[in-house]
Structure 1
Amino acid sequence: MEVDELVNKLYNKYPFTRIENMDSEAWAGYEAIGARIQEAVAATGKKRAVVIVECYPGVRQEEIVAGLADSLAPALIVRSEDAALEPSEVDRIVERYMTDDRVFGYMAPFRIDEFYVPARIEAMRRQLNEVDNGIAIVIGFGASLIAEGDVVVYADLARWEIQQRYRSKEVSNWRTDRVENDILRLYKRGFFFEWRMADRLKKSLLGKVDFYLDTNVKDAPKMVTRQALFAGFAQTASQPFRLVPYFDPGVWGGTWLEANIELPKREHPYAWGFDGVPEENSLYFQYGDVKVELPAINLVFFESIKLLGDRVYARFGAEFPIRFDFLDTISGGNLSLQVHPTVEYIREQFGMNYTQDESYYILDVEPGAEVYLGLKDGIEPEAMLADLRKAEKGGFTFPAEKYVNVYPTDKHDHFLIPAGTVHCSATGCMVLEISATPYIFTFKLWDWDRLGLDGRPRPVHVDHGSKVIDWNRKTDWTTSQLVNRIEKVKEGEGWTEERTGLHELQFIETRRFWFSEPVLHEANGSVHMLNLVEGEEATVESPTNAFEPYVIRYAETFIVPASVEAYTIRPSGPSAGKKVGVIKAFVRE
């Protein structure tokens, strides 16, 4: 069975958007790509031409050079990063933003030109000027600083692919003297320093390049023109779409994802499913026979208002503030007992503008499933913190049930978790986590006496956590404010709309719809993120035929841009005439 036939019947692990009227603007393979760049060079009419290949950190630069050599026959190859500061100097400059912690740093404000030496740039420019005839290639992260270029290519890759290259030790961090084998520290430097700087450069440059190069798959590049790329952005920001999901093992991983998403078996069970995280996930744009993968955050950068809405953009800028992901503990283990920072704390300590408010929507359970949430009445903060610190040192098991409420849970329960609330999903839950997007800012308080998959203790942050725990969130408050605050909002023939959260302290609103007939959703100034939480299939349609009907299947997360004025969702396929359910999240007014 072909992949495209397969995904029509199951959870679609390879969703794509077919971009209209741009089939001739995409190429696959170095031979075709090199020939197209050669044509662009010839069109300049110059005897000496400079081809700039600006690269996101982690791109396989030598593969690109080798792949283009036959077509371009370069007279000179300049590696721009030879003009950058020495790694030891880069380490010195960014050290205060990295901190000694394995996980947390501080958002660094740098721009790429701050790490290049003007005298070295001038020396490279003189080298380029010495080429009388032929093509000179300038390649690297910062290549666009060296020369304007007669043809400019932007080489990109997805955030998830960078992490895979870290794990395989194929790449390390940019311009560092430190040999680092700790994946958490590699990711930290990328997250707090490199990717922020690279994104600033990308946002300033991508609208002016000639070509966009997808380098995600080894020796299988794809390239599109800038016009085709931005046509893809514009089309995607005008219709429902999905991100390309990925799944990752963890120490508490369960069995639900493997069984229901039909994932390949792994040595360690799948714990996470990332199906709605634009900063991490990618998009597939299909141009004829060429499928281009690009970071989903690019769409956020270049179609911010159409995607997010004016109101959301005014509040958050070019950031996607909502995240959907899966946490699988079915036949697995407990998540770490944890708490998220308050807005004030995350701003002062890490340079973030908003925090990780979240919720657990229970997609499925096995018997005995529970959620830890809020603190018990009558506990003493000093005693709880003393026990947490004692457990952190080892040789002592933290008595979680002594201090934290434990709630039995069932399918379709919804637990709200504003920042400062102690919580964790216990074994037996398949959680659709609906949250704000600063997703690495979890302060683990207790990790159940276990090691990470790397054999090392997972980082615990009792000191951070102690400063943000809201000690007033006791049993009565938690039960009344955070557990199944479900109320009917509207109903019509064949449908019901319910408000399920989030809490008044959180900026995300969630609505659940049960329906056996088409139900209308209207724009409200915010992007919508949704998931089909019950039923096999539903179809999203435009009342005015503004976009093609879009089919979604059970557990799939999808996004409806703010620019879509109205859409309907109806049960379809095997679910036609049956009652299905979706949960929708958006930013409150």
Structure 2
Amino acid sequence: MNMPLFLEPVFQERIWGGTALRDQFGYEIPSDHTGECWAISAHPNGPSVVKNGAFAGKTLQQLWQEQPQLFGHYPTKVFPLLTKILDANSDLSVQVHPNDEYANTYENGELGKTECWYIIDCKEGAELIYGHHAQSKDELIALIREGKWNDLLRKVSIKPGDFFYVPSGTIHALCEGTLVLETQQSSDTTYRVYDYDRTDDKGNKRELHLDKAIDVSTVPHQDAEVQLDVDKQQGVNITTFVKEKYFTVYKWEVDGSAQLIQDQPFQLVSIISGEGMLTVDGQSFPLEKGMHFILTADESKFLIEGKLTAIVSHP
């Protein structure tokens, strides 16, 4: 039987990053401007490395190609998902992502980028940008060209535990003081609409991608409805946040002992609080906050004990 694959995260420095990944998760981050933890990634811009078992030292990208049985011979050329933790120490750029068809045509065969956010933590009164107020492409273009960002952008108040589904075409941005677990398609394509006229340490502004952003933006904005479904089982509450084309995302809140079934080709698991123990086929693995792992294809039953919260996804 295959064992779970525990993964070493990859860290990305960002102009808007901070130290929350170290302060809250104990990660060894490269600087005080670390914005992203690519926790479960087979993307070439930051592939995770397996830490345990027979495949230790291999990247997830390698395993996807060389050991397809681990993933139930899932029928896509590239590993479909990417799990991140984002530390928005200051505002992220306002951006929008393309769908698969547009990205494939204009971004070298890259996947599109539909994503979702679970708010792990945020400062009091925190907001994020989710959508816009333009009713037509002409109005969108005019408001962007005139820099009327307060008229254009739609702000939403947030609190820890909130969940947002962000389909491709949605103008969006995380704002200052927010720590988020993001589940997304395995893509690194972002079109920046506005970056607050910030400059880097050399005085350069970051590139904007206005023509492509306008091309792919959904107008008028459509709210993606999230209907939570809570399944209370012995030792665990399982909240289903979203079941959509690209991914299904859950929250597991374990308190005690929970016997679960792995009935997917594979599942991505991130422990965001607490600690416990995972037992698979008679082997036990300690779990603690900040760990990320994949339950592979033939782990039909497994046991999780302890008190912890995990965000879980599968394609």
TM-score by structure 2 length?
Answer: 0.90
**Structure 1 residue aligned with 2:71:** 308
Q: Equivalences for 1:223-302 in 2 at 5 Å?
A: 238-263=2-27, 268-279=32-43, 280-284=47-51, 293-302=57-66
| Cα distance in structure 2, aligned partners of 1:522 and 1:533 | 21
What amino acid sits opposite 1:336 in the alignment? S
**Structure 1 residue aligned with 2:82:** 323
SS of the residue aligned with 1:243?
Answer: strand
SS of the residue aligned with 2:256?
Answer: coil
| Cα distance in structure 2, aligned partners of 1:461 and 1:389 | 13
The alpha carbon displacement at 1:429 in A equals: 0.7
Q: Tell me if the contact between 1:250 and 1:268 (Cα under 8 Å) persists in the aligned partners.
A: no
The alpha carbon displacement at 1:422 in A equals: 0.8
What amino acid sits opposite 1:444 in the alignment? R
| Cα distance in structure 1, aligned partners of 2:299 and 2:56 | 24
What amino acid sits opposite 1:407 in the alignment? V
Offset from partner CA, 1:531-575 (integer Å, 9 cap, x none): 12232x121112x42xx211221132211112211212221xxx4
5+ long unaligned stretches in structure 2: none
Q: Tell me if the contact between 2:11 and 2:30 (Cα under 8 Å) persists in the aligned partners.
A: no
**Structure 1 residue aligned with 2:180:** 431
What amino acid sits opposite 2:50 in the alignment? L
5+ long unaligned stretches in structure 1: 1-234, 391-397
What amino acid sits opposite 1:358 in the alignment? E
Q: Tell me if the contact between 2:22 and 2:29 (Cα under 8 Å) persists in the aligned partners.
A: yes
Do the aligned partners of residues 353 and 499 (structure 1) sit closer, same or farther apart at CA in structure 2, a change above 3 Å counting?
Answer: same
Picking from 394, 404, 419, the partner of 2:153 is 404
Is the aligned partner of 1:563 residue 2:298?
yes
Do the aligned partners of residues 265 and 282 (structure 1) sit closer, same or farther apart at CA in structure 2, a change above 3 Å counting?
Answer: closer
What amino acid sits opposite 2:284 in the alignment? P
Q: Equivalences for 1:478-489 in 2 at 5 Å?
A: 478=223, 481-482=224-225, 484-488=226-230
Offset from partner CA, 1:395-437 (integer Å, 9 cap, x none): xxx3433222211111111110111111111111101111110
More deviation, 378-387/516-525: 378-387
The alpha carbon displacement at 1:248 in A equals: 2.8
**Structure 1 residue aligned with 2:204:** 456
The alpha carbon displacement at 1:359 in A equals: 0.6
Greater fraction strand: 2
SS of the residue aligned with 2:15?
Answer: coil
Q: Equivalences for 1:107-506 in 2 at 5 Å?
A: 238-263=2-27, 268-279=32-43, 280-284=47-51, 293-304=57-68, 306-310=69-73, 313-314=74-75, 316-317=76-77, 319-329=78-88, 332-352=89-109, 354-376=111-133, 379-389=135-145, 398-438=147-187, 440-452=188-200, 455-474=203-222, 478=223, 481-482=224-225, 484-488=226-230, 490-502=231-243, 504=244, 506=245
Q: Tell me if the contact between 1:308 and 1:320 (Cα under 8 Å) persists in the aligned partners.
A: no
Do the aligned partners of residues 326 and 523 (structure 1) sit closer, same or farther apart at CA in structure 2, a change above 3 Å counting?
Answer: same
**Structure 2 residue aligned with 1:533:** 272
Q: Tell me if the contact between 1:389 and 1:462 (Cα under 8 Å) persists in the aligned partners.
A: no
| Cα distance in structure 2, aligned partners of 1:324 and 1:524 | 20
The alpha carbon displacement at 1:297 in A equals: 1.3
The alpha carbon displacement at 1:507 in A equals: 1.6
Q: Equivalences for 1:26-105 in 2 at 5 Å?
A: none
SS of the residue aligned with 1:448?
Answer: coil
| Cα distance in structure 1, aligned partners of 2:234 and 2:101 | 45
Q: Tell me if the contact between 1:243 and 1:278 (Cα under 8 Å) persists in the aligned partners.
A: no
What amino acid sits opposite 2:253 in the alignment? W
Offset from partner CA, 1:359-382 (integer Å, 9 cap, x none): 111111111211111223x64432
| Cα distance in structure 1, aligned partners of 2:246 and 2:56 | 34
More deviation, 407-416/277-286: 277-286
Q: Tell me if the contact between 1:379 and 1:403 (Cα under 8 Å) persists in the aligned partners.
A: no
| Cα distance in structure 2, aligned partners of 1:556 and 1:450 | 34
| Cα distance in structure 1, aligned partners of 2:28 and 2:153 | 36
Offset from partner CA, 1:70-98 (integer Å, 9 cap, x none): xxxxxxxxxxxxxxxxxxxxxxxxxxxxx
Q: Tell me if the contact between 1:309 and 1:527 (Cα under 8 Å) persists in the aligned partners.
A: yes
Q: Tell me if the contact between 1:324 and 1:557 (Cα under 8 Å) persists in the aligned partners.
A: no
SS of the residue aligned with 2:18?
Answer: coil
Is the aligned partner of 1:508 residue 2:236?
no
Larger radius of gyration: 1
| Cα distance in structure 2, aligned partners of 1:375 and 1:485 | 22
The alpha carbon displacement at 1:353 in A equals: 6.5
Q: Tell me if the contact between 1:375 and 1:473 (Cα under 8 Å) persists in the aligned partners.
A: yes
Q: Tell me if the contact between 1:540 and 1:549 (Cα under 8 Å) persists in the aligned partners.
A: yes
| Cα distance in structure 1, aligned partners of 2:26 and 2:253 | 26
| Cα distance in structure 1, aligned partners of 2:203 and 2:58 | 33
| Cα distance in structure 1, aligned partners of 2:276 and 2:195 | 39
What amino acid sits opposite 1:281 in the alignment? S
More deviation, 398-407/506-515: 398-407
| Cα distance in structure 2, aligned partners of 1:265 and 1:240 | 25
Do the aligned partners of residues 409 and 347 (structure 1) sit closer, same or farther apart at CA in structure 2, a change above 3 Å counting?
Answer: same
SS of the residue aligned with 1:559?
Answer: strand
| Cα distance in structure 1, aligned partners of 2:178 and 2:29 | 20
SS of the residue aligned with 1:568?
Answer: strand
Aligned length: 312
SS of the residue aligned with 1:335?
Answer: coil
